[in-house]
Structure 1
Amino acid sequence: MAAESEVIACQCHISAAFNAGNLEEAGHLSIRLKYLAKLADEARSKKSRALRLP
């Protein structure tokens, strides 16, 4: 799923920002990560509901 791969990429970017000492960038990315995680969860829920429909 595209949203899940974006979540993983964002996690990697947060790690890189922390390792570089760029806490401001890491903070911005953590906000984006929360948003992407919400999108991924909504997509999973939609898919699950669609599979349960007759």
Structure 2
Amino acid sequence: MCELPAGRTDIACGGTHVHDLTALGGVTTSLRTGQVEGGLELTMETDVTAP
């Protein structure tokens, strides 16, 4: 959840949940915006490597 100039919004998770962080070797997350009709679109991409 975050506050934007137009108000509060939610970003859906869309990912798999782990029970223990040791199940992950590394995590890289990036955010990018792109112009769409009527505003901007925010895209989040997360890459996970095995331990």
TM-score by length of structure 1 reads: 0.26
More helix by share: 1
Q: Could you say which structure has the higher strand fraction? A: 2
Higher relative contact order (CA 8 A, sep 6+): 1
Q: TM-score, normalised by structure 2?
A: 0.26
